[in-house]
Amino acid sequence: MTRIVAGAARGRTLQVPKSGTRPTSERVREALFSRLEHYGYVRDCRVLDLYSGSGALALEAVSRGASHAICVESDRQAAQIIRSNAEHSGLSQHVQVLMQPVEKYVNQTGRGDIDVVFLDPPYALGEAELAHVLAAVVEHLKPDAMIVVERDKHSPEPTWPAGVQLDDERIWGDTRVWSATHQD
């Protein structure tokens, strides 16, 4: 069972797509958001959740005070589950769900208004594809925005685009999480 860990919707159960996703565990979300909150990257922030799956990362952020979250998910069933989770959690007014491939979204002209971006792609996504998405997402970010990438613990460090600097790397169980700061 997946639940929202903290904030206004604390304890609300989240539906998870039957296949094709692996929601970020509560333990990882708790540790990750504790760190993000410590550095001021949650309250009143605009969040972009790429490869959203169940929407757990975006919903956790909004529950903890993020002003708005955009969830980008290409799977129709998963996108509907995100909408349902947002409604069930009472957070739907702060969550926008876009059913489209992540590559299509990031290649659109960005407004430079995102404070935090989460990338939790399928583990099968190649490193070159991830590098392309990271390079393209920069246009959507504010200066000093935080980029969080979640992968299998055996995955190599992502190739960061120019203007992005690694801030931290953590392993929790089978999950490796990198956080980097956009310096432009």
> For residue 76, what are its two tokens?
């129709």
**pLDDT confidence bin for 20, thresholds 50/70/90:** low
For 172, the 3-state DSSP assignment is: strand
- Give the E-state strand segments of the chain in sequence order: 2-3, 13-14, 46-50, 68-73, 95-99, 114-119, 141-152, 164-172, 175-182
Q: Is 11 exposed, middle or buried (0-12, 13-18, 19+ CB in 10 A)?
A: exposed
Return the amino acid letter for 26: E
Q: Which of 91, 106, 59, 97 is nearest to 78 (CA)?
A: 97
Q: Record the pTM.
A: 0.94
Nearest to 105 by CA among 137, 130, 77: 137
Answer yes or no: is pLDDT of 25 > 80.
no
pLDDT higher for 124 or 40?
40
Question: 26-38 and 56-63 helices cross at what angle (nearest 10)?
Answer: 50
Q: Is the pLDDT of residue 79 over 70?
A: yes
